[in-house]
Every structure is written in structure tokens, then in C-alpha cells.
Amino acid sequence: MLPLAFGWQNVLFANWPVDGDVLDAHLPDAFAVQEFDGTGWLTVVPFTNVDTRPRGLPAWLGLPLPELNLRTYVTVDGEPGVYFFSLDADSLLATIAARLTHHLPYYNADVDIDWVDGRVEFSSYRRQPGDRPAHYRATYWPTGEPFESEPGSRAEFLTERRRLYTQAPDGSVRYTDVDHPPWTLYPAEADVEVNTLFEANGFDHPGGDPLLLFSPGTEVTTTRSRRWD
């Protein structure tokens, strides 16, 4: 995958504590669950990529790409990062490219996102044939005062990630480094009408209410995908 530049906007982090053994059963052997407060975490992240383009090109050449993902937090040889169980995006070309060049589990979906009266309206409907259906529809919005996460805090653990890991078909681990300014975060609320992402990825729906965080966004650059040695 080429090094990329884009913006992440209107981001919701919906975070559930999940037993580490449950997560470990869904991970390749190369990855270890990273815990915080004695538990692993599953996070649903609806948002939109804006001005998506190869790094070095001007923003006006970039394309919008709304997206929904389900992720957890792992280490490889002690180095922390994000592991994605699924990523749904509204672009057939982008999903094919990401699968072929980066081995990310992207799925083609109808995804809509809009800002209406101070709230984000988001919906995603997976349309890729032959895969488990995954539907998500929610309205979410920021509350309270903005903040940046404190070092060592739970908010930092769940949001300030600078690496993603994947596994190639030959079993090798690959990684991409991600660079962006610290997130500006808000407490958040959400009305979720439909969410079948957990079931689509083989999980029971976690119990209890999630920890919700919102960010208006940040600018992002990535490196190429590299093999982990």
C-alpha cells in the first residue's frame, strides 16, 4: 500500500471491555491481547476519511471515504498497535486495493454520514456477497468540554494509536505506522438503532454500556505496509 494522507472526521469511539481470553480466541497466534484496567477492549468506530490520497499530493485531489470498523488492541513482540476484525467502506475499488496490498479485512458497503443539527447521522449496510451481513445505524454527538487524553489514561489507550497490524496470507505479520496530532476528544452520547458488527465477526454482543468518545477529527499520514521481522 502506498503511503497515504487523509483526514479522519466525525469520529466516534464506542468502547466495550471484553475478556482477554474471548478476544484471544479470535486473534492469530502472532498477536497478544493488550489489556487496560485488567480487560481487553472491543471498539466500534464510525467516521469518514476525507481527502484520501497518496502522501505528497494536494488535498484537493483526495477522495471522501466513509468507513466503519471493529477493532481491538494488541501487541507484537511487546509493541502495541491496533488489530481490525472488519472495516466496511463505501468504495469497491478501495476495499479491493486494501485487501490486495495490505491484507486488511475490508468489505464493500453502503455507508452514509451526515451532520444534522449538531449530531452525526451514520449508517452502514454491508453489500459484499458471500460474507456475513453487517448493519450499523446510529446518531452520535459530542457533550461536555473538549480535552486531550492524559498519558497513561484509558482514553489515551483507546485512541492514541500509532500502528496497525495485519496478517498476510503466508502467515507473516505486517504493520503500518500512523502519524497524527493528538486527538481532541469529547465525552459523547449515541442512539444506536442497529449494530450487528459483533455477530458478523463471531462475537456475542458485549453487555453494559460502552465508553463513548467523540472527536471532530485530525489529519493523518501513514507509511507503507512493512513486514514484521
**Which CATH number does the domain housing residue 121 bear?**
2.40.400.10
Structure-model confidence comparison of residues 229 and 212, the more confident one: 212
Question: Is there a contact between 39 and 17 (Cβ–Cβ < 8 Å)?
Answer: yes
* Domain range for 73: 4-227
Which of 23-27, 62-66, 190-194 is least confident?
62-66
Could you tell me the CA-to-CA distances from 167 to 13, 74, 84, 198 in Å, in that order? 24, 13, 10, 20
Quick check: 102 pLDDT over 70? no
List, for residues 32-64, the tens digit of each pLDDT value: 999 999 999 999 999 999 877 777 888 887 788
| Three-state SS at 60 | helix
Residues 6+ apart with CB under 8 A from 180: 8, 218, 219, 220, 221
For residues 40 and 83, the answer to whether their CB atoms sit within 8 Å is no
Q: Output the CA torsion sign for 90, 96, 98, 99.
A: positive
Helix (H, G, I), strand (E, B) or coil at 112: strand
CA angle 42, 44, 46 (to 5 degrees): 160
Mean pLDDT of the 203-210 span: 95
Assign 31 to helix, strand or coil: coil
C-alpha cell, 195:
449494530
Q: What's the number of CA atoms in the CB half-sphere (13 Å) around residue 47?
A: 23
Given a cut of 80, is residue 152 above it in pLDDT? yes
pLDDT class for 85, splitting at 50, 70, 90?
A: very high
**How many angstroms separate the Cα of 162 from the Cα of each of 112, 127, 169, 175?**
27, 30, 24, 10
Total tally of structural domains belonging to the chain: 1
pTM of the model: 0.94
Q: What are phi and psi of 61, to 5 degrees?
A: -85, -5
Among 162, 186, 212, 161, smallest CA distance to 46 is for 212
